[in-house]
A and B are shown apart, each in its own frame.
Chain A
Amino acid sequence: MMNLEQLRTLVQENTRASGNDFYRRLYGLESEKSHLEIASIDEWRMLPLLSKQDMIKRSFKERLFVPSRELQTISITSGTTGGPPLFQPRSYQGTPLESLCLPYPEIRGATLAGTLQFPHEHERAFAFLKRNPRVIHFDPQHIQESITLALIAGVEIIIAQTFFVSAMCEVAVKSGLAERVQLIVVAGETWTRSEFLRVRGLFKNAKILYDYGTKEAGTMAYTEVLGPEYAVVYHPMPHVYFEIFDSDTGLLVTPDTGVIGELLLTTTVGEPSAFPLLRYRSGDCIRVESVSTDGTDFTFTLLGRVDQDFIKIPGGMLRADELERVVSKLSEQISDRFEVHCFEEQTPQGLKKRIVMHIQPLTGAHLETLADTIAKQLHLGPSFTYADGVQKGLYLPLICVPLTTKDPVQKHKRILKHW
């Protein structure tokens, strides 16, 4: 990840009086100051955070850090909770960082791409890496046509969103493409383990790994090639700086194994960057898996969106508001704080969802009894409870465990995915 010197330069360059005033205004910099200087990591941590709302408030033109003729592309991120989309300017990416993590240089085939990047960016990146620069643009609205071209083009690599790969499976298998593919790099929402195993079974010659990125910032982290244990652990790339933020308390969290929080990201996309992201609230909830010995670097798993308020499970939807309703009805036995962790477990009947609810019993209430009560009251659909699904064998029984936290004032009302 970036070091203090790089962060210092980043702040200096992007707060100059002669440049775009976006960060000067965000940081409340006085007009007589030529730029902002930070001397330590503690001063860096004092800088206000950047949110999507901060960007939406300013017009597209007001967010340009380069002359408009230097812009190369415009990307879009969907609005959160029904908000408007954000159009993000992008300038020339001299070094195609998003592809530097791509292993197996011996795989010389072409690429089928359906990602946040534009096909020409992939072409440039592959040419830079002296790999086959031929890229076929995947069209989810024309899967058959995309796969036909991919076969003729000699595709051996797929770089695409998880749901695109899932969507193309059937055609890829029928056409014979699946057998030819040797490497799949997926991005976006994490597959469940069962879906991963399904895809892995269909693309039997392919190594699969994830990259992590956002439309605003491109690729920022990647995993190793995934084995059957399906541990999706991301390693940050050198051009980014990650921090962890507790959106409930508004405080930074020191990276430590097991810590959960929102990922703050700092990165520049492009040379020079059309819009550098400094301490940007990604909205992604992560769990720290390991920390480097000097404490400056960490690996992580993605647990979903910070504002994730539902999760699909067989038979219906597990919703945060419904969980709150059930918890509030049991207010004499448990506090209103909870965390719901969703897993997949191998059973003799195959992979099944396991929901573990972390709660705070107020009295000596038995956790198993509470789990049973909650399961009977928790609706996944208008006339379908969690207990109904267990009875039908759709998923495993609810387990309740005590909620433990280091922070007594920290709020806990969230759903976290572990697949």
Chain B
Amino acid sequence: MNTGEAIHSMCEGYEKWGASPSFLAESKTRGFVSVSALEQFLTSIETSLEKSNHRLLPFVSGNGSTLRAFPCAPTRRWNSCEQTLIASDTKAAMCMLPFFWQIEPLLFAAARGAGAPLFMTQPDNFAVAARAIDTAGTNTIITTPSTAQAFAQDLTGHDDTHPRTWLLIRLLGETVHDMSTFASAARVTSEIHLVPGVPLLVQCEHLLMAKMDKRFHVSEEFELSLEDGRLLATVRDTELMPLFRLELPFPLKEVSTCQCGKSTMTL
């Protein structure tokens, strides 16, 4: 697909999700959609979302000041999470992500796919989370890097058992954390999400085993293209969510090919 065709597909995609003619005209002229333009698009379709059956996820702008609803198909699954849970032989998964991320149904489906029960707790409830590891067989924790860091320190401080696997979810624009705190854990895998539950960058088993914590693969849901120095992300299945030629607000370099066969990117 050449650039002209890609821009045409982008407009078709956004139109299908209810974009206004002015948004489509602007996007066509620009040839891509910036994060702020996406935010405007989400604002403009808000009234139509009420009647739709889409799952609504919170889209938080870069500075965290505004929140928009990001729609995605109710049938959409969080496959990378399911793969992580399976690969890490998860007996029980514990979610320590903010509840307002609306991630529970996606995570529950992933956990079912891995044959593991799900336990949810507030991110700051370290006492209960520690007991869940001890007594309920929870061996995989899904959380943010900052919560993981604080919780791991708390576990060490109380001489409590650490989980076997951490799945760390970082939102677009968040800073990279030093993962050395988790050195004792057998497995630490990270994902960078465009919206909670929508991973753009993921890690495979090979990256994880090699402890290459700053290297990622592009999620199977997206394709990336580099045009005029801009990195653009487009969802492969246009039915799943409205994300076409989104300009990523961070640089991403292709550094090598992984043993799994996919390109390895670094931030």
Contact = CB atoms under 8 A, between A and B. Distances in A.
Interface of A: 59-61, 68-69, 71-76, 84-85, 87, 89-90, 110, 118-120, 123, 133-142, 145-146, 148-149, 152-154
B197 to A, nearest CB: 12
B142 to A, nearest CB: 14
Contacts of B56: 134, 136, 149, 152-153
B117 interface: yes
Contacts of A145: 58, 67, 100
Interface stretch (B12-20, B118-126, B205-213): B118-126
B92 A137 contact: no
Contacts of B109: 120
Interface stretch (B130-138, B230-238, B253-261): B130-138
B38 to A, nearest CB: 16
A87 B132 contact: yes
- Secondary structure at the B interface, as helix, strand, loop or mixed, is mixed
Contacts of B122: 141
B58 A118 contact: no
Interface of B: 46, 49-51, 53, 55-56, 58, 67-69, 74, 91-92, 98-100, 102, 104-105, 108-109, 112, 115-124, 128, 131-132, 135-138
Contacts of A73: 108, 117-119
A96 B248 CA distance: 42
Q: Lowest 5 CB-CB distances: which A-B pairs, in order? A: A154-B50, A139-B99, A139-B100, A71-B117, A87-B136
Contact of A152 (B50, B53, B74): B50
Contact of B128 (A72, A85, A139, A142): A85
18 contacts: A59-B135, A73-B108, A74-B117, A75-B119, A76-B121, A85-B131, A118-B118, A120-B108, A133-B74, A134-B56, A136-B56, A137-B100, A137-B102, A137-B104, A142-B98, A146-B99, A146-B100, A153-B49
Nearest to A138: B99
- Secondary structure at the A interface, as helix, strand, loop or mixed, is mixed
Contacts, number: 108
Contacts of B69: 148-149, 152-153
A60 B99 contact: no
- Indicate the member of B112, B122, B123 with the most A CB atoms within 10 Å: B112
A149 B58 contact: yes
B50 to A, nearest CB: 4
Contact of A72 (B112, B131, B135): B112
Contacts of A154: 49-51
Contacts of A60: 135-137
Contacts of A138: 99
Given A72-B118, A136-B56, A152-B46, 7 more contacts: A74-B92, A90-B117, A118-B118, A136-B102, A137-B104, A138-B99, A154-B49
A69 B116 CA distance: 6
Contacts of B99: 137-142, 146
A363 to B, nearest CB: 51
A73 B111 CA distance: 9
Nearest to B109: A120
Nearest to B99: A139
A74 B118 contact: yes
B104 A142 contact: no
Contact of A61 (B112, B124, B128, B137): B137
Contacts of B55: 134
B211 to A, nearest CB: 30
A149 B50 CA distance: 10
Contacts of A118: 104, 108, 118, 120
Nearest to A144: B67
Given A84-B131, A152-B69, A134 B100 contact: no
A139 B121 CA distance: 11
B67 A149 contact: yes
B54 to A, nearest CB: 8
A74 B58 contact: no
A137 B67 CA distance: 15
- Indicate the member of B99, B116, B132, B137 with the most A CB atoms within 10 Å: B99
Nearest to B136: A87
Contacts of A69: 115
A25 B39 CA distance: 60
B88 to A, nearest CB: 15
A140 B109 CA distance: 24
Contacts of B49: 152-154
B98 A139 contact: yes
B129 to A, nearest CB: 10
Contacts of B105: 119-120, 123, 135
Contacts of B128: 76, 85
Nearest to A135: B105
A102 B116 CA distance: 30
